[in-house]
Amino acid sequence: MQGWTGFFLNIDLTKSKATPEPYDESLALNFLGGRGFAAKILWDTLKQGTDPLSPENKLIFATGPLTGIGLPNSGKLVIASKSPLTGGYGDGNSGSWAAVNIRKAGYDALVIEGKASKPVILHIKDKMCEFLDASYLWGTSSFEAEDQLRKKHSKLVGIISIGPAGENLVKFATVVSQKGRSGGRPGMGAVMGSKNLKAVVVEGTMSIPLANPDEMKRLSVDGYKELLTKPLYSFWKRQGTMSTVEWSQENSCLPTFNFRQGVFNKAEGISGFTMEKMKVSNRGCPQCNMTCGNVVKDSEGKDSELDYENVVMLSSNIGIGNLSQVATLNRLADEFGFDSISLGGVLGFAMEASEKGLISEKINWGDFEEIKKLIIDIAYKRGLGALLAEGVRAASETIGGGSIDWAMHVKGLEISAYDCHIAPGMALAYGTSSIGAHHKDAWIITWETKAGRENYDQSKVDHLVKTQLLRGGTFEALTVCRFPYNSLGLEFEWYRKYLRASTGQDFSMERLNQISERILNLIRAFWVREYNEKWSRNLDVPPRRWFKEPLTEGPMKGSVLNLEKYNTMLDAYYETRGWNKNGVPKIETLEKLGLADVTSQLKLR
Ligand code: SF4
């Protein structure tokens, strides 16, 4: 096999045992890597109904055939598991030297199960794997853990760790790498914590088998140079995704006061241009020359790495207009190991619940000091923090009072940072995303505003499906960053050239789309299998707030989604996907994709 190492490392933490497992080439050709490998492993090896926080759940760190070979924007991995937050398929990607080192150690993925009897660090060095005592690190922040581990091991090792949020099983805890590269929104950090796994340290020195190493070297050099020629490159380096703050404000898409207003009267204070005045450096994933992490000094003088999502969820959505304060909350989120998007969603939910008198605690919008305290309470599950640590879906089920209408989530995952009162296509993207309400698979909202935002027509469905295949399928299976393509306009042909040099195979768009279809259908099957009797098409509908409560401010004030039209669009989406009226893949769809065996485990209602 060329392009892939052909091995997974299976780790059983209960038995302190690591076993390299060769896998068949057909797996690589049918699922590519990253999210594809993760979905296949979880489908094949997890029993239906597995408790996500039990030793039986698997935690997977998966790479792709372009990882670790020096290509631009390729230093990423996918972290996947059955999610404790949603109960369905969960994953996220993160930039980390661990991605590069897993491949150089001779593996395409780490597949971790079991539970260590006491806190451990998994240390992998090429073919060696040891289980080191982590008691001295348990309770430390993800930053502190990484600092200590980096001192102990060599400078170039890959380190992934969790903070107190993961240790304490907060349902939206992430795993963190390189002080700010946090991934695995649907509670991948809690799964790691449930296994008593504080950190993974990986060192690899081996070479990765490539079909055409000389061509790969040339393409790598050319690829980096090509990015420098893109007209948007220099502005991207200045602001990264932060320019989206202005765009969202202008287009009434800014999450504001728990997704009510669409615009924020203090938006200028959190904009990309304000950030530029505070910026001290750029940080980013390994092997990237368009690093997008904007490092600023926060209100306590510490470094915090900002991007659009974490900024707006921790500012406009909770009523804070001071970027230094937002930076502090964001840094706390990274140190504790929270997903900052869900954290902002949970805080916004708590403030609205407080405003409406549904909880006894008084949490005022924009109260920076109280919010800081509440974040720490969530990490340690104290008082109100214990309720919020379960996420907004569970919190709304507990407090009731009609809060289900404004618990802003899909399938249990808090909505990421775009208000969709007047963006039905993006609402459908959230509704049908592979992990719950996340924008990663199909960030179509800027396209939609140009394409006619009030339409609910087939063209939006077609664009959504195409985007999900490319971003949610191909990019997540390759585990490469989508920003060069998406934000700088790099031609997709580059990735096909990289793939040819790596694997020796020609991956046409048609072939890649078929692989993506296979992956996304398997993920949908996983959701249906795990939800079983509770599965319903209503799970693909975003919260009622967007349908019942019009935008309260700004030029689009009064706008609201139409539920009947949304459902018609959802029907069209299912039809295009080859799914039945309940959103379940049809037998013929699964058979066409070589997933006939999946049908026996699904009730095809
Ligand atoms: S553009 Fe940003 S997210 Fe993408 S690889 Fe570079 S630093 Fe990572």
State the DSSP H helix or E strand holding residue 355, giving kind and residue range, or none if neither: helix 340-355
Determine the average pLDDT of the residues in 482-487: 94
Amino acid at 396: S
pLDDT value of position 601: 84
Ligand 1 pocket: which residues have CB below 6 Å? 73, 95, 284-285, 288, 290-293, 481, 483
Q: From ligand 1's centre to the CA of 45, what distance in Å? A: 32
CB 188 within 8 A of CB 92: yes
- Three-state secondary-structure class, residue 80: strand
Query: Considering only CA atoms, which residue is closest to atom 5 of ligand 1?
Result: 73
DSSP state of 105: T
Q: From ligand 1's centre to the CA of 281, what distance in Å? A: 14
Residue 604 confidence (pLDDT) above 70: no
Angle formed at CA 569 by CA 567 and CA 570, multiple of 5 degrees: 60
Q: From ligand 1's centre to the CA of 455, what distance in Å? A: 33
- Percent of the chain topping pLDDT 90: 97
Nearest-angstrom CA–CA distance, 99 and 306: 22
H runs (alpha helix) in 153-264: 164-167, 188-194, 213-228, 233-239, 244-250
Altogether, the residues listed in the chain come to a count of 605
Tokens of 121: 């660090």
Query: Considering only CA atoms, which residue is closest to atom 6 of ligand 1?
Result: 291
CB 593 within 8 A of CB 518: yes
Q: What is the DSSP string of 168-195?
A: TT-TTB-EEETTTEEE-TTTHHHHHHHT
Nearest-angstrom CA–CA distance, 72 and 317: 34
CB 255 within 8 A of CB 309: no
CB 112 within 8 A of CB 519: no
Determine the average pLDDT of the residues in 542-549: 98
Helix, strand, coil percentages for the chain (3-state, nearest 5) = 45, 15, 40
Q: From ligand 1's centre to the CA of 351, what distance in Å? A: 33
Determine the average pLDDT of the residues in 567-584: 97
pLDDT value of position 403: 98
* Mean pLDDT for all residues in the chain: 97
Strands of 109-113's sheet in order across: 17-22, 7-12, 109-113, 59-62, 76-82, 89-95
Q: pLDDT for 188-223, tens place per residue?
A: 999 999 999 999 999 999 999 999 999 999 999 999
Nearest-angstrom CA–CA distance, 587 and 105: 40
From the alpha carbon of 284, which atom of ligand 1 is closest? 7
H runs (alpha helix) in 14-172: 25-31, 34-45, 97-104, 142-152, 164-167
Q: Cβ–Cβ contacts within 10 Å for residue 153, how many?
A: 17
- Three-state secondary-structure class, residue 10: strand
Q: From ligand 1's centre to the CA of 147, what distance in Å? A: 22
Determine the average pLDDT of the residues in 546-559: 97
State the DSSP H helix or E strand holding residue 489, giving kind and residue range, or none if neither: none
pLDDT value of position 602: 82
From the alpha carbon of 289, which atom of ligand 1 is closest? 6
Task: Annotate 387-408 with three-state secondary structure.
Answer: HHCCCHHHHHHHHCCCHHHHCC
Q: pLDDT for 71-106, tens place per residue?
A: 999 999 999 999 999 999 999 999 999 999 999 999
Q: pLDDT for 494-526, tens place per residue?
A: 999 999 999 999 999 999 999 999 999 999 999
Who's near 135: CB < 8 A, 6+ residues apart?
A: 118, 119
566-594: b (≥16 Cβ within 10 Å) or e: beebbebbbeebbbbebbbbbbebbebbe
Nearest-angstrom CA–CA distance, 308 and 310: 6
Binned at pLDDT 50, 70 and 90, residue 288 comes out as: very high
Q: pLDDT for 6-51, tens place per residue?
A: 999 999 999 999 999 999 999 999 999 999 999 999 999 999 999 9
pTM of the entire structure?
Answer: 0.97
Nearest-angstrom CA–CA distance, 455 and 453: 6
Nearest-angstrom CA–CA distance, 59 and 80: 6
Q: pLDDT for 315-366, tens place per residue?
A: 999 999 999 999 999 999 999 999 999 999 999 999 999 999 999 999 999 9
Angle formed at CA 282 by CA 250 and CA 271, multiple of 5 degrees: 20
Of 150, 45, 54, residue with least CA distance to 97: 150
Q: Cβ–Cβ contacts within 10 Å for residue 324, how many?
A: 17
From the alpha carbon of 74, which atom of ligand 1 is closest? 5
Nearest-angstrom CA–CA distance, 454 and 434: 25
Determine the average pLDDT of the residues in 546-558: 97
pLDDT value of position 600: 85
Query: Considering only CA atoms, which residue is closest to atom 8 of ligand 1?
Result: 285
Of 30, 90, 26, 88, residue with least CA distance to 60: 90
Residue 62 confidence (pLDDT) above 70: yes
- Three-state secondary-structure class, residue 9: strand
Tokens of 402: 């009609």
Determine the average pLDDT of the residues in 479-505: 96
Nearest-angstrom CA–CA distance, 595 and 587: 9
Query: Considering only CA atoms, which residue is closest to atom 2 of ligand 1?
Result: 292
From the alpha carbon of 287, which atom of ligand 1 is closest? 5
Tokens of 571: 């029907």
Give helix 509-531 / helix 34-45 axis angle, nearest 10°.
40
pLDDT value of position 480: 96
Q: What is the DSSP string of 490-527?
A: --THHHHHHHHHHHS----HHHHHHHHHHHHHHHHHHH
Residue 605 confidence (pLDDT) above 60: no
Tokens of 233: 């490159």
From the alpha carbon of 480, which atom of ligand 1 is closest? 5
Ligand 1 test: best mutation among 292, 306, 485, 488, most atoms within 8 Å of CB?
292
Q: pLDDT for 427-479, tens place per residue?
A: 999 999 999 999 999 999 999 999 999 999 999 999 999 999 999 999 999 99
Who's near 309: CB < 8 A, 6+ residues apart?
A: 241, 340, 341, 416, 417, 439
Q: From ligand 1's centre to the CA of 376, what distance in Å? A: 29
Q: From ligand 1's centre to the CA of 41, what distance in Å? A: 27
Nearest-angstrom CA–CA distance, 98 and 225: 25
Looking at the DSSP bridge assignments, the partners of residue 90 are: 81
- Percent of the chain topping pLDDT 70: 100
Nearest-angstrom CA–CA distance, 323 and 110: 38
Q: From ligand 1's centre to the CA of 342, what distance in Å? A: 21
Q: From ligand 1's centre to the CA of 247, what distance in Å? A: 20
